[in-house]
């Protein structure tokens, strides 16, 4: 689980559990009498999605999209590419995008435009985390789980070079492991 690679825990397991439960209640209320389609952005949001689904009291369907990620680097290029599109059309549906984190805002800005062009009945966004200090483009996010400082975080689905997704909390990676994983030496 690589727990010893973590410098600091920003959001503990019990805080995540409680917040996801509360988000589930709020989102259920907002979609009362409807059947939203939850669209998770792979891969970072899978754990959040799985927990959020079970906190919802409204019937719902799920689908997945994948966008190009940073790879091993931790900075956004501003360029977003679709690696996997939705299985079904979303015209006339109540779509809820489920994201792990909004950082520069580029990914959600692009996805929002792309999905709005397909004429859903409504389009809303929930993001587990937000780093407001890093925003380059403004995106209307309907629900945010936690605002966090400008630090690179892992755990609860979020990775660095595909590792650490299984950690049950949101933590900051020790700097020595960035360097190690990037293959840098000093």
Judged by the rule CB under 5 A, the positions of this chain that interact with Mg ion are: 41, 44, 100
Q: Within 13 A of 92's CA, how many CA atoms are on the CB side?
A: 1
Burial class (CB in 10 A: 0-12, 13-18, 19+), 97: buried
Residue 130 touches ligand IMP, criterion: CB under 6 A: no
Nearest-angstrom CA–CA distance, 159 and 161: 6
Per-residue x/- track, 46-85, ligand IMP (CB under 6 A): -----------------------x------x---------
Residue 106 touches ligand IMP, criterion: CB under 6 A: yes
Nearest-angstrom CA–CA distance, 101 and 158: 8
Examine the residue annotation and report whether 103 is marked as an active-site residue of this protein: yes
From the CB of 71, what's the least distance to ligand IMP, in Å? 11
Piece of 15-23, 53-61, 83-91, 149-157 that binds ligand IMP (CB under 6 A): 149-157
Select from 133, 129, 131 the least CA-distant residue to 98. Answer: 129
What are the residue ranges of helices labelled H in the chain? 13-30, 46-55, 106-116, 175-182
Piece of 9-17, 31-39, 54-62, 151-159 that binds ligand IMP (CB under 6 A): 151-159
Strand order across the 6-11 sheet: 6-11, 170-173, 153-154
Q: Which of 11, 111, 158, 167 binds ligand IMP (CB under 6 A)?
A: 158
Name the residues that contact ligand IMP, by CB under 6 A. 41, 44, 69, 76, 99-107, 152-154, 158
Q: Catalytic residues, which ones?
A: 103
């Amino acid at each position: 689980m690589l727990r010893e690679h973590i410098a600091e825990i920003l959001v503990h397991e019990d805080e995540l559990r409680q917040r996801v439960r509360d988000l589930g209640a709020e989102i259920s209320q907002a979609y009362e009498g409807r059947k939203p389609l939850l669209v998770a952005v792979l891969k970072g949001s899978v754990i959040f999605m799985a927990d959020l689904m079970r906190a919802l009291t409204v019937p719902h369907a799920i689908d997945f999209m994948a966008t190009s990620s940073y790879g091993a680097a931790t900075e956004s290029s501003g360029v977003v590419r679709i690696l996997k599109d939705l299985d079904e059309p979303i015209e006339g549906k109540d779509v809820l995008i489920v994201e792990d984190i909004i950082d520069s805002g580029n990914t959600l800005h692009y996805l929002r435009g792309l999905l709005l062009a397909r004429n859903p009945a409504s389009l809303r966004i929930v993001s587990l985390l937000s780093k407001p200090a890093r925003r380059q483009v403004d995106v209307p996010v309907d629900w945010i789980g936690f605002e966090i400082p400008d630090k690179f975080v892992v755990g609860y689905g979020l990775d660095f070079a595909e590792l650490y997704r299984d950690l049950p909390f949101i933590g900051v990676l020790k700097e020595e492991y960035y360097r190690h994983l990037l293959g840098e030496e000093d």
